[in-house]
Copies of this chain bind each other. A is one copy, B any other.
Amino acid sequence: MKTIRAAVMPAPNLPIELRDVPWPDLAPGAAMLRTLYSEVCGTDVHLHHGKLSGVPYPIIPGHVSIGHLAEIRGTVRDIDGAPFREGDLVTFLDVHETCGACRECLVTKQSTRCPHRKVYGITYGLNDGPLGGWADHIWMKPGVKLLRIPEGVDPLSFIAGGCGLVTSVHAAERAELRLGMSVAVLGAGPVGQAAAALAALSGAHPVIMIGAPAPRLDFALTMGATHVLPLEMPHAERVEQVHALTAGRGVDVVIEAAGDPRAVGEALDLVRDGGRVVVAGQYTDGGDTPYNPHRQINRKHVEIRGCWGCDYSHVHRALQVLAHQGAKLPWANAVTATYSLERAAEGLAAVESRAVVKAVVEPNGKQTTVSR
């Protein structure tokens, strides 16, 4: 029997195991992807600690992946109607099965809040089939939205951006980033790095990143941040420095990608009167935190926008940005190591410790960790 080899989280906080999963029957419109890279995301750390509700363990992690189409059943087409061919290098929208038939899909038009939403590597369990990226092949169920990797986009750069890039495309859209805006980014992880990059590519200035640890801030300076401020600096001093860079007013836009609930309050202190704060980092529940609605919202005449999940357009735009603006920034340098399936747990540990910006699983790759 043909099988797929996968790295599996059996349950929260248990060691990751290698398992062989049956190769699924492909219905018409389905395909099989031979995985080139799949990322290790901060979400996978949350998954491993059981921080997300409703996850059907055991599960194959890996929601953003890239690879070649190994097998296509029937005809699968791109958004312009062109059929995919075996061998094509593609990625896919991990958010599968938004229903197109509910109030969120049809009336409020925010499919990221569709209650029927399924996500590869997060809401599909091992029992649903090989539907996560930490595996040598990934089952593209009929209807999964595939995207061609445009010419000139290096696969490692794509996965280096990964989920953080796609998320920050959405955050940048919510922020209405424009040429000449001043921007602060809170958080130096993959979302923050990509947000700083997108701000820079949009012509923002200054692009101030606040985060930790120091190597991530150094990386940010290569990715478009014009200034970095460490978390060790006292809050009041950070506020003062941001004001000094912005005629004493604060920045036009803050993109919060930190995760710590207190970061939203910091964002409100850094933004100028009438500015905009996009809250993209509060993906898991970090608890309650105090704020002052008079001083931080009302008197500031400020705007705050939550940013949840992604849809097809964000992946599409991420690829366009990489294709056309990608060469300006060293995306691939975010990946300091790639991991075989056997060593996926090491990648997870590296992400959890913030030792790296991004770890990547290379399921069909060499069996050794490649240091870059």
- Report B-chain residues with C-beta under 8 Å of the C-beta of A248: 80
The reply on A113 being an interface residue by CB < 8 A is: yes
Q: What is the distance, in angstroms, from A313's C-beta to the closest C-beta of chain B?
A: 5
User: Majority SS of interface residues in chain A?
Assistant: loop
Q: In the complex where A79-B103, A180-B324, A202-B202 touch, is A300 in contact with B308 (Cβ < 8 A)?
A: yes
- Report B-chain residues with C-beta under 8 Å of the C-beta of A306: 297-303
The reply on A261 being an interface residue by CB < 8 A is: yes
Query: CA A301 – CA B283 in complex, angstroms?
Result: 11
User: A203 near B202 (CB under 8 angstroms)?
Assistant: yes
Complex interface bits, A275-303 against B, C-beta within 8 A gives 1, otherwise 0: 00001111111111111111101111111
Determine the residue in chain B with the shortest Cβ distance to A252.
B108
Query: CA A4 – CA B337 in complex, angstroms?
Result: 67
Q: What is the distance, in angstroms, from A301's C-beta to the closest C-beta of chain B?
A: 4
**Chain A interface residue number, banded:** 35 or more
- Report B-chain residues with C-beta under 8 Å of the C-beta of A109: 109, 313
Q: What is the distance, in angstroms, from A311's C-beta to the closest C-beta of chain B?
A: 8
Q: What is the distance, in angstroms, from A299's C-beta to the closest C-beta of chain B?
A: 6
Q: In the complex, which of the residues B106, B180, B272, B282 contacts A293, with contact meaning CB atoms closer than 8 Å?
A: B282
Determine the residue in chain B with the shortest Cβ distance to A206.
B324
User: A179 near B177 (CB under 8 angstroms)?
Assistant: yes
Q: In the complex, which of the residues B100, B104, B198 contacts A100, with contact meaning CB atoms closer than 8 Å?
A: B100
Query: Which of A180, A274, A288, A291 gathers the greatest number of chain B CB atoms within 10 Å?
Result: A180
Determine the residue in chain B with the shortest Cβ distance to A317.
B180
The reply on A160 being an interface residue by CB < 8 A is: no
Query: CA A249 – CA B261 in complex, angstroms?
Result: 25
Q: What is the distance, in angstroms, from A17's C-beta to the closest C-beta of chain B?
A: 30
Q: In the complex, which of the residues B100, B110, B299 contacts A273, with contact meaning CB atoms closer than 8 Å?
A: B110
User: A179 near B205 (CB under 8 angstroms)?
Assistant: no
User: B274 near A108 (CB under 8 angstroms)?
Assistant: yes
Query: Which of A103, A143, A201, A305 gathers the greatest number of chain B CB atoms within 10 Å?
Result: A103
In A142-185, the 8 Å CB interface with B consists of 143, 145, 172-173, 176-180
Which A residues have a C-beta under 8 Å from some C-beta of B? Answer: 77, 79-81, 100-104, 106-110, 112-113, 143, 145, 172-173, 176-180, 198, 201-203, 205-206, 247-249, 261, 264, 272-274, 279-295, 297-308, 311-313, 316-317, 320-321, 324-325
Q: A80-B102, A110-B273 are in contact. List 18 more A-B contacts (CB 8 A).
A: A79-B107, A80-B103, A80-B247, A100-B100, A103-B247, A108-B272, A176-B176, A178-B178, A180-B324, A203-B203, A261-B293, A261-B294, A264-B293, A279-B297, A288-B291, A298-B306, A301-B306, A304-B304
